[in-house]
Amino acid sequence: MNRRQAIKKSALLFGVVAGMDDNHSLKSSYQLGACDWSLGKTLSPEAFDVAKKIGLQGVQVSYNTGKDPGGLSDPKTLELIRDASKNSGVKISSLAIGELNRVPYKSDARTEEWVWNSVDAAKELGARVILLAFFSEGDLRNDTAGQKMVIERLKKVAPHAEKAGITLGIESYLTAEEHLNIIEQVGSKSVQVYYDFRNATDAGNDVFKELKILGKDRICELHMKENGQRLGEGTLNWPDIAKAVKDIGYEGWMQIEWASPKGVDIVACYRHNRAYLNRLFQF
């Protein structure tokens, strides 16, 4: 082996070693978690124990609930979640405000405080993304006035999120173009799309075209779900979706949500989902 070949081999070896974790396996570009509500443990420390049994890397934690609107803004609740993550070794992958489906961001003034305070909670917990949900009562489709109000409210909180290094992810039935219109009008890098393939398909949108339109820089996280079915057993073409995700260069968290038939053991079911996604993405 000459000197040039030796240098090249050393460089390649260094690149492989640099990409390894403490277990000497190649690091993946993706991390896998699950929503606490899908684990049956909404805003509960127990969600982390369930996630650990499944073999997940993280939990997407609800910021609040209908019974506990203050949620993670209560120091005691925040500390319980932080301790559960630390003790289990399972990360707090992101936060979510699912209550916005019942108490709409577009029309209820209380939600402005929730979103503002959720930024502070996310920063305290080391989470980088907050999902803002826009379904049911908060649906934005064919609601110009509602979209306008959401834009105005996001404009107010966006600088706060930017300063904290937090991304606010819009999850809705809107098209990719409609999402981009909101993002452009807000004019902040802290506002992106939280993409859900099942929701987009149910809304009649072409997920493959939408991924290309949005690109990796407009998508903060992904939901992986098949309502009432295990992943790979519903109607979505997950192998093609995996290819499309890789093609746009997305890297980061994916959260399993509502990917289980009724009455099944959630741990066993989500182990299947984890294994299925692992075959597609190599976590």
Residue 40 lies in domain? 27-281
- 139 contact partners, CB below 8 Å, separation of at least 6: 172, 173
Does 248 fall in a domain? yes
pLDDT (0 to 100) of residue 43: 98
Q: Is residue 1 part of a domain?
A: no
Q: Which of 115, 60, 122 is nearest to 93 (CA)?
A: 60
Kindly report, residue by residue over 218-252, the tens digit of the pLDDT.
999 999 999 999 999 999 999 999 999 999 999 99
Residue 96 belongs to some domain of the structure = yes
Q: Is residue 8 part of a domain?
A: no
Q: Using CB atoms within 10 Å of the CB of residue 184, give its burial: 0 to 12 exposed, 13 to 18 middle, 19+ buried.
A: exposed
Residue 17 domain flag? no
Q: Which residues contact 99 (CB under 8 A, 6 or more apart)?
A: 62, 63, 64, 65, 66, 69, 114, 133
Three-state SS string over 41-63 comes to CCCCCHHHHHHHHHCCCEEEEEC
Pairing of strands 167-172, 91-97: unpaired
The arithmetic mean of pLDDT across residues 50-75, rounded, is 98
pLDDT, tens digit (0-9, with 9 covering 90-100), for 61-72: 999 999 999 999
Which helix (H) or strand (E) covers residue 33, if one does?
Answer: strand 30-35
Whether 265 is in a domain gets the answer yes
106: Cβ–Cβ under 8 A, 6 or more apart, which residues? 134, 138, 140, 143, 145, 146, 147, 149, 150
pLDDT at 1: 54
Tally of domains in the chain: 1
Residue 95 included in any domain: yes
Q: Tell me how far apart the alpha carbons of residues 164 and 145 are, in angstroms, rounded to a whole number.
A: 29
Indicate the angle between helix axes 144-164 and 176-186, nearest 10 degrees.
60
When comparing pLDDT for 3 and 183, which is higher? 183
In a domain, 62, yes or no: yes
Of 27-41, 172-186, 249-263, least confident by mean pLDDT is: 27-41
Here the CATH number for the domain that contains residue 135 is: 3.20.20.150
Higher-pLDDT residue of 190, 10: 190
Q: Please say whether the beta carbons of 204 and 175 come within 8 A.
A: no
Write the CA distances from 170 to 50, 115, 132, 214, integer angstroms: 27, 12, 5, 13
Question: Does pLDDT of 74 surpass 80?
Answer: yes
